[in-house]
A = this chain, B = another copy of it.
Amino acid sequence: MVHTIGTRADKAGLPPGTLVHIGQKRSCQVKITLTEFSESQYQSKEIKEIKEFLPLKDKPVITWIDINGIHNLETIQNIGKYFNLHPLILEDIVNSEQRPKVEDLGEHLFVVLKFLSYDTEKKLGIEQISFIIGSNFVITFQENGEDVFRPIKTRIKNSAGKIRAMGADYLAYSLIDAIVDNYFVILEEVGLKLDILEEELVTNPTRNTLHVIHQLKREMLLIRKSIWPSREVISSLQRGELSFFEDIAVLHLKDVYDHAIQVIDTIETLRDMLSEMMDIYLSSISNRINDVMRVLTIITTIFIPLSFIAGVYGMNFKYMPELNWRLGYPAVLLTMLCLGIFMLIFFRKKKWL
């Protein structure tokens, strides 16, 4: 298997329902984690074959199947077959450039969201996370090798909060909440970068400052594109019209929705601040040019007339009476001094000095 990046264009012309993985093929090994829990029971294991967790439907526990890696099309297809998912849904799962959305499939609910993270080189990564939510199970599809849901897994294991006592809807809410909460982490990191930038802009703006502003602007574009449609998704989840979520989960989803709006407010404010900084940078450049111009002008306009005078008395005419005056030289020096001082006064008056 070769590591390549599939793009959306690869799919043009293929019949609908053809599974083509779009996105970076990050790790070749797909990791499937099966977690089964009820208030009293708890079991979590890594599995290899999809058949290991069958049959699912009659178990008196909540089952969470977390599939980490969406490039193995066979696994996806098997899951699709077992849960009777429409090929178009499978297509959306393996297309990592899917827009966040929610779709009521009758038996299940299909949700797509984006997870944002900074990698070790502080580069923004966008990962797609799809959910299939059923009455007693949740299937999650992660794109990346790193596990987004580790805290939730720990919480279930430790039975922290009431997560073990609740149904699949509460589990789904917890997972979505984890994703939205993570947006705050990302935005605070951006906020920190902005604070550093601002400090730099005031004390010592360099060309690199500009570069960082532009990079942050682009990052904000990507973040906004990923998060903006999520608001809509969570809004339709919290409206309580979907039968998958009971009252208690809806109440919690309203809270998640509040957070989503707050995230979007913050994004807009950060964007405005970035434009603001861009403006500050540009006016600082403008100011600098102004400064440089002023110094240049002052030096030039003071010395050019003086040099001219010196040039005049450097001419070799035979009959130049001043040259033979005893006080010619000091008189000229004095004249030059006066002219220079006059110029300085003139510039001070014009507020250029």
Contact = CB atoms under 8 A, between A and B. Distances in A.
A218 B188 CA distance: 17
Contact of A313 (B162, B303, B317): B317
Given A163-B15, A221-B269, A301 B308 contact: no
Interface stretch (A47-55, A136-144, A237-245, A325-333): A325-333
B294 A304 contact: no
A155 interface: yes
A2 interface: no
Contacts of A15: 155, 160-163, 174
Contact of A151 (B13, B177, B325): B13
A147 interface: no
Contacts of A305: 299, 303
Given A151-B13, A283-B282, A303-B304, A316 B323 contact: yes
A59 B9 CA distance: 37
A296 interface: yes
A99 B258 contact: yes
A60 interface: no
B307 A297 contact: no
A341 interface: no
Given A12-B178, A151-B13, A304-B307, A286 B283 contact: no
A212 interface: no
Contact of A265 (B99, B181, B294, B325): B99
Contact of A329 (B229, B315, B350): B315
A22 to B, nearest CB: 10
Nearest to A152: B13
Interface string A278-306: 11111101111111111111011101111
A282 to B, nearest CB: 6
Copies of the protein in its oligomer: 5
A11 interface: yes
Contacts of A258: 92, 98-99, 101
A12 B155 CA distance: 13
Contacts of A13: 151, 178, 181
Interface in A239-290: 251-252, 254-255, 258, 261-262, 265, 269, 272-273, 276, 278-283, 285-290
A261 B16 CA distance: 17
Contacts of A283: 210, 281-282, 285
A207 interface: yes
A13 to B, nearest CB: 4
B255 A16 contact: yes
A133 B324 CA distance: 99
Contacts of A299: 300-301, 304-305
Contacts of A178: 12-13
B301 A296 contact: yes
Nearest 6 A/B pairs, CB to CB: A15-B161, A310-B311, A13-B151, A313-B315, A12-B181, A8-B184
14 contacts: A9-B185, A12-B184, A16-B174, A101-B258, A210-B287, A214-B280, A278-B279, A285-B286, A285-B290, A293-B293, A296-B301, A310-B312, A314-B316, A319-B329
